[in-house]
Amino acid sequence: MATEFSFSLLRRRDVLRLAVAGMAIAGPMGALAQGAPKPKPKLGLIGSGNVGSNLGRVWAQKGYQVMFSSRDLEADKRLVAQVAANSRAGTPQEAAAFGDVLVFAVPYGALPELGKTLGASLKGKVVIDASNPFPQRDGAIADEAREQGAGVVSARLLPGARIVRAFNAVGAARMGAMNSTPGTVGMPMASDDKQAIDIASQLIRDIGFEPVLVGGLAMGKYLMPGTPLAGEHSPDEIRKIAATLKP
């Protein structure tokens, strides 16, 4: 009887030991080992015009939590009523605090003020800069961005942000229409931050474009209308064009 009891006790200990080991495997490292998907980052859209609304709409459809914001909160609420699932409306300050990743799709002339008012909410966050400088609309800051490069100037105007310049050279209407032919149209981007590039690349792929890194932020001057990279190109075409350009 004593021997049977001892074996029984040992078996119980073995079972307990295996259970504890199983719980350890099921923890964070276990999830990685099993290929569990990473949680999607929350997205704060600063600017919900043609570009911001099209991008946010598709990301929300793909399961991202999106907050739209602009200077017209009521218009953003109406937009959310159309998008429905996974979307909400807020002020730019609320969107900047909400988002793990921020997308700036505003007139370039608004960046200096937004950099000041959003302040600490930008620090350490990936910011996708989709804003283009047009001197006739944005004034002196647009001239500066075109002379020095929009990526470099955006980084100065949004201090502490991890800038990826993208969504600058393709028409707004096409930004929500790539799901039917994913990967056929390239999306040029420029950044000096590897982790930010990886995050932006996934967001770009999830709406149907193929991300193509053309270089660091200094190459951001080519990511705007009127440059060789403007318009729709295949990923290979973007690489060939970028190879002929100088930072």
Each of the 247 residues of the chain gets a pLDDT tens digit; together they read: 444 434 343 444 443 343 434 433 334 333 334 556 778 999 999 999 999 999 999 999 999 999 999 999 999 999 999 998 999 999 999 999 999 999 999 999 999 999 999 989 999 999 999 999 999 999 999 999 999 999 999 999 999 999 999 999 887 777 766 666 666 899 999 999 999 999 999 999 999 999 999 999 999 999 999 999 999 999 999 999 999 998 8
Sheet of 186-190: strand order equals: 87-90, 66-69, 43-46, 101-104, 126-129, 162-165, 186-190, 210-215
Distance CA 110, CA 115 (A): 9
Residue 187: exposed, middle, or buried by beta-carbon count in 10 A (0-12, 13-18, 19+)? Answer: buried
Q: What is the pTM of this model?
A: 0.83
All structural domains of the chain, each given as residue ranges with its CATH number in brackets, are 43-242 (3.40.50.720)
